[in-house]
Amino acid sequence: MSKHSQQHDLKPQSEPEPEVFEPGQRVPIWSRRDTIALCWIVAGALLLRLIYLWQYRACPTFEHPIMDPLYHVEWARAFARGESFMAGQPYFRAPLYPWILGLCYSVFGESFLIPRICQVVMGALSCGLIFLIGRRVFGRGTGVVAGCVAATYWLFLYFEGELLITPLIVFLDLLFIWLLLRADESRSIGRYLLCGLVLGLSAIARPNILLFGLLACVWVIVRNVESRDIASWRRAIVRSFLLGLACLLPILPITIRNYLAGDDLVLISSQGGVNFFIGNNAESDGTRAVVPGTRPDWWGGYHDAIALAEKGTGRELKPSEVSDYFFGKAFDFITTEPMSWLGLTLKKVRYFWNGTEIANNQPIRFFAERYGPIVKFLPIGFWMIAPLALLGLLLCLRHPLRLFPLWGFVVVYAATVILFFVCTRFRIPITGVLIILACYAGRWLVDAARSRQWIPLALGCAVTVSLGVWVYITPEKLLDPTFQGYNIIGDLKMRQGDVDGAIDDLRKGIELRPDYAALRRQMGHALIMQGRFDEAERELRFALALRGSHNEESWGQASFWLGYILATRNDLDAAIELFRQSISHDASYAEAHRWLGRTLFARGDFASARESLERAVKLNPELAEAHFDLGNFLVNMRRTEEGIEHLQTSLALHPENAQGWFYLANAYKGLNQLHNEVQALENALALTPPGTPMAEALSKRIEAIRSQL
């Protein structure tokens, strides 16, 4: 170590640190104090996350995931079993997170807890990275505060408890920034290669990081050019090239796999065009993640989007062509309605920087506070961080080149989100850097006050307060979505058989938002399950009267359940009309086709009844009730052998159906197959409560047939 360096290291601890450490200045040597700070931050963050996770196990979605988490679980299960997911086509979404989840399943079994424990460990390490980045760029004090804020930031806890890609992205992006800063100081070839490898891993988790990666390669060249001679430029370009080359190492196998699987050139995933159109069309509100004219559920929306593209082009399309089709549709909107698009984009900017949590799968604060009450004691939210972070972003302009890995990441990543559509989980990856910038701005304000620089202090406070008001005031579109949380919980409780609990939650939701059709439709369904048909009918008619843009997704099911009530009352014509309305909303709703067929059969329209029942079976071959109804229909139409096939399929899917065995026995009787008839009757008897009239009738019939054998 040089004499100059030794003197620098021996400076008293009380001497103020530089505001930003330039490469020519020594970052303070790692000390025991830094080790202690890092350990405390990571340990404290881990403890809070484990407490939250233990509490959150009571959440109904913990072991019954919905929407995106369910998609990840399905993919991970296929990976763990060694099966191909969406075989024969390129990946629709980037594969890294489902692969990691599948690896957890392979090692630990299909646990819903173990992957979350891995995620909270990753989240605690991310807090350590925030400390390391803050310390390296702005000094130990800023790093410690930033690490502590990250450890107690409740939104991090929430997303680390969900089976979503978010915690993996946060960790990889922070690791990339930290390695990039270290490579910038050492100019080591190995570190640039490591940077590129982490960037590539982040890209196969969420590809929008690649735009920042491209600019980072340019930044590496600028930072490494020390003079105008060719040798200096060559060294700079080589380092940048190696970073980019290492980035391609994780990506190229995905690209090759996509091409071999579907004969389609897709770099990582094919969802880009669909997502771009979602956020850039005349019906977009900037937050809703549904293609107009498609179903709101994951797989329904996926297949409907493909169908729309193929209908629009008049031919079958590869996944990349579907993406190109929707990119084209979005650009048509941008070019033909530029002012509408500009207004929508400004709205998305406003939403992105607003303090309200915009949900994509379920209301965030509702679930976090209800099932993880520890978050109620963690007050730091985005509304507190964003104003100071934006001030910190402005302060970065005084050192734009050195601080590009921070401000550049925020600006570029935010732009890639705003260009598509906005929700909180897409904003989370930049939040770690925003925390660092917020702590930097806070330190700058304190230093200005201590040094009595009143004008800069006043300007800084004015900017922060103005930004705080802008961030804090919630646009009308982003009103509290708690009522949606009650709807989700009610639906899950109904699926688990807790109808009373579902009704209690649905009533709470209706009190908050009486004009929300989904709640009314769910309430109607729950009341049907309790046999309270009159009350159910009132709720369902209310839901249908509320038909509108935000209630459209519930209209089809409300029509179905009201039709079900009317069918049970033998009001066949009205029921048929409602079933057809339901099908017009969702042509793939097999249950609606089934009940339409049953009702048409009861009315005597046999040809249409058969068509509807066959359609139900085709749409959902696993729907035992559809096979049963079709089999019964065919037997009644004297097509006994065909009917028996469907009755057998129904019983293979649902062997506990005593009525099904009885109907199958009657079908065998029509063909005079006495042995099969007896076996079916014995199965029916085994499922019938003993001592009942039905059991006695079955026993007598079995004895009578055996006497003939």
Verify that 307 and 407 share a domain, yes or no: yes
Verify that 323 and 180 share a domain, yes or no: no
Single out the residue of 37, 18, 133 nearest to residue 433, CA to CA.
133
Which CATH number do you get for residue 603? 1.25.40.10
Say how far apart CA 437 and CA 194 lie, in whole Å: 25
Verify that 429 and 452 share a domain, yes or no: yes
Say how far apart CA 111 and CA 35 lie, in whole Å: 34
Per-residue CA distances from 423 to 149, 281, 418, 474 (Å): 22, 17, 9, 14
- pLDDT of 1: 40
- pLDDT of 23: 40
The structure tokens listed for 159 are 């997303």
Number of Cβ atoms within 10 Å of the Cβ of 707: 7
Verify that 562 and 618 share a domain, yes or no: no
C-beta of residue 181 within 8 angstroms of C-beta of residue 136: yes
The residue type of 192 is: Y
Q: Is the pLDDT of residue 292 over 90?
A: no
Verify that 426 and 294 share a domain, yes or no: yes
Q: What's the pLDDT band for 487 if we cut at 50, 70, 90?
A: confident
Say how far apart CA 167 and CA 339 lie, in whole Å: 36
511 Cβ contact list (under 8 Å, min separation 6): none
pTM: predicted TM-score of the whole model, two decimal places: 0.83
Say how far apart CA 175 and CA 429 lie, in whole Å: 12
- pLDDT of 479: 66
Say what angle helices 209-224 and 189-203 make with each other, to 10 degrees.
Answer: 170
- pLDDT of 442: 92
112-133 pLDDT, tens digit per residue, is 999 999 999 999 999 999 999 9
DSSP 592-613: HHHHHHHHHHHHT-HHHHHHHH
Q: Is residue 533 within a helix (H) or strand (E), and if so which, with residue range?
A: helix 533-545
Q: What is the mean pLDDT of the chain?
A: 86
Is 133 a domain residue? no
Verify that 288 and 336 share a domain, yes or no: yes
602-633 pLDDT, tens digit per residue, is 888 888 888 888 888 888 888 888 888 888 88
Q: In terms of C-beta distances under 8 Å and separation of at least 24 residues, what long-range contacts does 304-310 make, across chains too? A: 305/274
- pLDDT of 3: 40
C-beta of residue 683 within 8 angstroms of C-beta of residue 689: no
Which range is least confidently modeled, 68-72, 293-297, 680-684?
A: 293-297
- pLDDT of 410: 95
Verify that 219 and 355 share a domain, yes or no: no
Is 512 a domain residue? yes
Q: What's the pLDDT band for 10 if we cut at 50, 70, 90?
A: very low
Say what angle helices 382-395 and 404-418 make with each other, to 10 degrees.
Answer: 120
Parent domain of 558: 481-578
694-708 pLDDT, tens digit per residue, is 878 878 777 877 777
Count the alpha carbons within 13 Å of 576 in the hemisphere toward its beta carbon.
Answer: 16
Chain-centroid distance of CA 115 in Å reads 16
- pLDDT of 414: 94
Count the alpha carbons within 13 Å of 430 in the hemisphere toward its beta carbon.
Answer: 32
Q: Is the pLDDT of residue 197 over 90?
A: yes
474 Cβ contact list (under 8 Å, min separation 6): 354, 355, 356
379 Cβ contact list (under 8 Å, min separation 6): none
Q: Is residue 98 within a helix (H) or strand (E), and if so which, with residue range?
A: helix 96-108
Is 296 a domain residue? yes
- pLDDT of 12: 37
Say how far apart CA 520 and CA 545 lie, in whole Å: 11
Verify that 632 and 536 share a domain, yes or no: no
Q: Is the pLDDT of residue 25 over 90?
A: no
Verify that 570 and 591 share a domain, yes or no: no
Number of Cβ atoms within 10 Å of the Cβ of 343: 12
Q: What is the SS3 assignment for 264?
A: coil
DSSP E strands in 147-288: the ranges are: none
SS3 content of the chain, % helix, strand, coil (to 5): 75, 0, 25
Verify that 554 and 650 share a domain, yes or no: no
Q: What's the pLDDT band for 355 if we cut at 50, 70, 90?
A: confident
376-423 pLDDT, tens digit per residue, is 999 898 999 999 999 999 999 888 888 999 999 999 999 999 999 898
DSSP 425-447: HHHHHHHHHHHHHHHHHHHHHHH
C-beta of residue 439 within 8 angstroms of C-beta of residue 134: yes
The structure tokens listed for 175 are 């690791």
414 Cβ contact list (under 8 Å, min separation 6): 352, 427, 430
C-beta of residue 568 within 8 angstroms of C-beta of residue 546: no
Length of the chain counted residue by residue: 709
Give the total number of structural domains in the chain. 4
C-beta of residue 300 within 8 angstroms of C-beta of residue 586: yes
Is 312 a domain residue? yes
What is the pLDDT averaged over residues 676-685? 79
Q: What's the pLDDT band for 550 if we cut at 50, 70, 90?
A: very low
C-beta of residue 205 within 8 angstroms of C-beta of residue 94: yes
Is 240 a domain residue? yes
Single out the residue of 103, 126, 111, 109 nearest to residue 49, CA to CA.
126
252-290 pLDDT, tens digit per residue, is 999 999 899 888 888 899 888 899 999 999 888 888 888
Q: What is the SS3 assignment for 225?
A: coil
Q: Which residue has the higher pLDDT, 297 or 19?
A: 297
The structure tokens listed for 323 are 């993406």
Say how far apart CA 133 and CA 139 lie, in whole Å: 9
C-beta of residue 217 within 8 angstroms of C-beta of residue 244: yes
Is 426 a domain residue? yes
The structure tokens listed for 438 are 């917020």
- pLDDT of 552: 54
The structure tokens listed for 180 are 């990039």
440 Cβ contact list (under 8 Å, min separation 6): 134, 137, 138, 142, 392, 395
696 Cβ contact list (under 8 Å, min separation 6): none
Which range is least confidently modeled, 242-256, 283-297, 355-369?
A: 283-297
Is 696 a domain residue? no
Say how far apart CA 660 and CA 665 lie, in whole Å: 9
Verify that 438 and 356 share a domain, yes or no: yes
Q: Is the pLDDT of residue 40 over 70?
A: yes
The structure tokens listed for 177 are 């920034």
Say how far apart CA 289 and CA 276 lie, in whole Å: 10
Verify that 288 and 393 share a domain, yes or no: yes
Number of Cβ atoms within 10 Å of the Cβ of 675: 10
C-beta of residue 340 within 8 angstroms of C-beta of residue 286: no
C-beta of residue 112 within 8 angstroms of C-beta of residue 57: no
488 Cβ contact list (under 8 Å, min separation 6): 61, 66, 362, 363
Q: Which residue has the higher pLDDT, 175 or 473?
A: 175
Is 297 a domain residue? yes
Task: Specify which of 356-360, 380-384, 437-441 reaches the highest per-range mean pLDDT.
Answer: 437-441
Which of these three, 529, 547, 578, is where a domain ends? 578
47-91 pLDDT, tens digit per residue, is 999 999 999 998 888 988 888 899 899 999 988 888 888 777 888
Which of these three, 543, 578, 613, is where a domain ends? 578
C-beta of residue 150 within 8 angstroms of C-beta of residue 158: no
Q: Is the pLDDT of residue 309 over 80?
A: yes
- pLDDT of 9: 38
What is the pLDDT averaged over residues 189-209? 93
C-beta of residue 318 within 8 angstroms of C-beta of residue 266: no
What is the pLDDT averaged over residues 178-188? 89
- pLDDT of 619: 86
The structure tokens listed for 189 are 């070839």
Percent of the chain with pLDDT over 90: 36
Q: What radius of gyration, in Å, describes the C-alpha atoms of the chain?
A: 31
Which range is least confidently modeled, 345-349, 459-463, 464-468, 641-645?
A: 641-645
Say how far apart CA 544 and CA 555 lie, in whole Å: 6
Which of these three, 655, 680, 698, is where a domain ends? 655
Cβ-based burial of 400 (10 A; exposed 0-12, middle 13-18, buried ≥19): exposed
- pLDDT of 2: 41
DSSP E strands in 261-411: the ranges are: none
